[in-house]
Structure 1
Amino acid sequence: MKNNHIKYKTLILSALVLLNFGCKKTLDINVSPNNPLIETTTPEVLFPSAVGSTAGRVGGELTIIGGIWAQYYTQANASNQYKTIDAYALTRNDFNGNYNELFSGALADYQLAIKLAVARSDWRYNLMATVMKAYTYQVLVDLYDKVPYTEALKGLDNLQPKFDDGYTVYVGLLAEIDAALAKDYTSVELNKDQKKTDFLFGGDMDLWTKFANTLKLKMYLRMINAKPAEAQAGITKLYTDGANFLTTNAGIATFEDAPNNSNPFYEYNVRRLNTTTNLRASKTFTSWLAVNGDPRAKYYFGTLTPVPMNQGDYTATAVEQPTYAGATVFAQSAKDPVWFISAAESYLMQAEALERYYGGAGAAAMYKEGVIAAFAQVGLNVDKIPVPYLNYSAGTFEQKLEQIIVQKWASFAGSHSLEGFFEQERTGYPKISAVYSTDDNYIPGQWVYSKNGVTSGLFPKRLVFPASSRDRNSNTPAEVPITTKVWWGK
Structure 2
Amino acid sequence: MKKIIGIFFLFTMLTACEEELDINTNPNTPSEVDKSLVLTAAQGSLVTVMGGELTNLGGFLAQYHTQAPSASQYLNMDTYNMNTNFFGGSWNELYAGCLNDLKYVMDKATDDGDTGTYLIATLLRVYTFQVLTDLFGDIPYSEALLGEENITPNVDSGSDIYTSLLAEVDAALSQYNNNPVTSTVGSQDAIYNANMSDWLKFANTLKLKLYLRMAYTSKANPTAVMSLINDNNFITSDAKFSNYENAPNKANPFYDVQIDRIGDVNNVASSSLLSFYSENGDPRIAAVYRRDNQNAFSSLDQGNRDNFPNLLASNFSRPNVTGVTPVYLMTVSESNFLQAEALIRYASGAGAEDKYNQGVINSFMTYGLDTSEAMNLISSGGNYEYIANANDESSLRQVMVQKWASLAYINNIEAFFEVNRTKYPETLTLGNEDYTVGNLIVSVSSVLTANQTPNSLFYPATETDKNPNITQKTSLTEKIWWDQK
What's the TM-score once normalised by structure 1's chain length? 0.89
Structure 1: distance between partners of 2:344 and 2:472:
39
Partner of 2:24: 28
Structure 2: distance between partners of 1:469 and 1:144:
12
| 1:81 CA displacement | 1.2
| 1:88 CA displacement | 0.3
2:153 equivalent to 1:173: no
Partner of 1:432: 427
Partner of 1:452: 445
Structure 2: distance between partners of 1:157 and 1:441:
53
2:141 pairs with one of 140, 149, 156: 149
Structure 2: distance between partners of 1:15 and 1:210:
29
Q: Percent identity?
A: 35
Task: State how 1:307-386 maps to structure 2 within 5 Å.
Answer: 307-318=298-309, 326-385=315-374, 386=377
2:265 equivalent to 1:277: yes
Partner of 2:212: 221
- 1:432-451 deviations in Å (ceiling 9; x for gaps): 22x30xx3864443111111
Partner of 1:209: 200
- 1:302-354 deviations in Å (ceiling 9; x for gaps): 249411111112233458xx797712222220011111011100011001111
| Unpaired segments ≥5 residues, structure 2 | 1-8
Judged with a 3 Å threshold, the aligned counterparts in structure 2 of structure 1 residues 371 and 214 are, in CA distance, closer, same or farther, namely same
- 1:29–1:108 Cα contact (<8 Å) kept: no
Partner of 2:404: 409
- 1:205-258 deviations in Å (ceiling 9; x for gaps): 0000000110010011111122344x3233133235x25111210121232111
Q: Secondary structure at the match of 1:339?
A: strand
- 1:351–1:404 Cα contact (<8 Å) kept: yes
Partner of 2:36: 44
Judged with a 3 Å threshold, the aligned counterparts in structure 2 of structure 1 residues 119 and 441 are, in CA distance, closer, same or farther, namely closer
2:250 equivalent to 1:261: yes
Structure 2: distance between partners of 1:223 and 1:406:
19
2:94 pairs with one of 98, 102, 106: 102
> RMSD of the alignment, in Å?
2.2
Judged with a 3 Å threshold, the aligned counterparts in structure 2 of structure 1 residues 458 and 15 are, in CA distance, closer, same or farther, namely farther
- 1:371–1:389 Cα contact (<8 Å) kept: no
- 1:44-75 deviations in Å (ceiling 9; x for gaps): 12211111110000110111000111001100
Structure 1: distance between partners of 2:130 and 2:69:
34
Partner of 1:195: 186
| 1:160 CA displacement | 0.7
- Output the amino acid matched with 1:448: I
- 1:426–1:488 Cα contact (<8 Å) kept: yes
2:222 equivalent to 1:232: yes
Judged with a 3 Å threshold, the aligned counterparts in structure 2 of structure 1 residues 119 and 223 are, in CA distance, closer, same or farther, namely same
1:420 pairs with one of 402, 415, 418: 415
1:488 pairs with one of 470, 482, 485: 482
| Unpaired segments ≥5 residues, structure 1 | 1-9, 18-24
- Output the amino acid matched with 1:227: S
Partner of 2:6: none
1:391 pairs with one of 372, 375, 385: 385
Q: Secondary structure at the match of 2:55?
A: helix
- 1:43–1:116 Cα contact (<8 Å) kept: yes
2:61 pairs with one of 69, 78, 82: 69
Partner of 1:5: none
- Output the amino acid matched with 2:191: L
2:469 pairs with one of 470, 475, 482: 475
| 1:459 CA displacement | 0.4
Judged with a 3 Å threshold, the aligned counterparts in structure 2 of structure 1 residues 16 and 138 are, in CA distance, closer, same or farther, namely farther
Pairs aligned (count): 460
Judged with a 3 Å threshold, the aligned counterparts in structure 2 of structure 1 residues 226 and 477 are, in CA distance, closer, same or farther, namely farther
Structure 1: distance between partners of 2:313 and 2:257:
23
